[in-house]
Amino acid sequence: MHLKNSKIIVIKIGSSLIVDNKKKIRKKWLSSFAKDIQKLKSKNKKIIIVSSGAIALGCKKMNYNKSNLKLDKSQAIASVGQIELMNLFSQTFSKLKINISQILLTLDDTEERRRSINAKRTFENLFKLDYIPIVNENDTIATSEIKYGDNDRLASRVAQITNADTLILLSDVDGLFTKNPKLFKDAKLIKKVSNLDKDIKKIYIKGVTEFGKGGMNTKIEAAKICNLAGCNMIIANGLYLNPIQQIEKKNICTLFESRISKLHARKKWIISSVSPKGTLVIDDGAKKALVGGKSLLAAGIINLSGKFNKGDHIKILDTKNKEFARGLSSFSSEEINKIMGCHSNEIEKKLGYITKSEVVHKDDMVEV
């Protein structure tokens, strides 16, 4: 159903899906989940998995009770648990010949524009290499000030950065209900939320497991982030075997429908960026390429003004000094000064290190 037209899908797995309430690893579930991923891959879907569970697995290995942990101790335990978590994924997915990689992110990595561009490029390159990125919050270094505190919001930021079509939050509940289903028998599942602010005003559900941090409130926060990014979000029960197939076949879930397109959301984000830090003047050939949907290359740049860093918001002018586009620069002004007018194969020699060829990537640019 909802996944048919989705090209990029982010799937978030809660800790309770990996470790049960008896602190046993749910290996059978993980195998069934891997088969779901294999099926999505066969349909040319690009998948990113955001997984909790590092601290839970670290606690299991070291026989600690998670509820009593202080931040510094939990960081040390997370570093033990990360290896356990990735070994678990590696063993499970390699049986199906699925390649996986690990990406550790903190809040700053997604909030700061330069870092988020770097993260986006890493995801894109992993897709090209046919690897599935497995993302986790970097619990080993994240302080309380820079922590997400739950992987629901982290997953929504990953969906935003990667331009994903759908985010699936696999939880221990079927979706969003009119009341807390664990307390009220007459609670009804809400199948679709089209107007987030209006539809959820009167709903408050709290559901925290021993190992998980995110209740329904954090999922609603995640839905708001997705909504603004033009990404649909699904909350579904992940406790079933083959949870993704369950969503597709039985449709027991809540769909948060974004009412704006991805393109519109991204354009809005770039256009509403803080005032541009610099200006590039491009030749007619480069302008023609940009109109045709290409990225801006160094060869087409004839002038530069302003001082800016990689990831900063810049203006792009044509030969008549008329503003033509805005975008996020993949290079600093210092680097562009060295490479403007150069062909892509000359960039490494000019800078002394290997880098990308696009000065402003087409996905990070908006015509004005």
Say if residue 127 is in the same domain as residue 190: yes
Is 296 among the domain residues?
yes
SS3 of 231, please?
Answer: coil
| C-alpha span between 251 and 203 (Å, rounded) | 21
Q: What is the CATH number of the domain that holds 239?
A: 3.40.1160.10
DSSP state for residue 189 in the 8-state scheme: B
| C-alpha span between 242 and 252 (Å, rounded) | 13
pLDDT value at residue 306: 95
Say if residue 239 is in the same domain as residue 297: no
pTM higher than the cut 0.95: no
307 Rama sector, left if φ>0, alpha if ψ -120 to 50, beta otherwise: beta
pLDDT value at residue 269: 67
pLDDT value at residue 173: 83
- Of the candidates 235, 266, 297, which is a domain's last residue? 266
How many structural domains compose the chain? Answer: 2
How would you classify the pairing of strands 253-256 and 131-137?
Answer: unpaired
> pLDDT tens across 139-175, in order?
555 555 435 556 888 899 899 889 899 999 998 888 8
Q: What number of other Cβ atoms are within 10 A of residue 72's Cβ?
A: 9
Residue 328: exposure state from Cβ atoms within 10 A (0-12, 13-18, ≥19): buried
Is 57 among the domain residues?
yes
Domain of residue 358 covers 274-367
pLDDT value at residue 231: 92
How confident is the chain (368 residues) per 10-residue block, as mean pLDDT? 85 89 89 97 96 84 76 80 91 96 82 75 93 83 52 89 93 84 83 80 48 64 86 93 92 89 70 78 95 94 94 92 91 95 92 90 86
pLDDT value at residue 139: 55
Closest CA to 163 of 34, 293, 270, 255: 270
Q: What number of other Cβ atoms are within 10 A of residue 159's Cβ?
A: 28
Sign of CA dihedral 148, 102, 25, 93: positive
Is 1 among the domain residues?
no
pLDDT value at residue 130: 96
Say if residue 124 is in the same domain as residue 234: yes
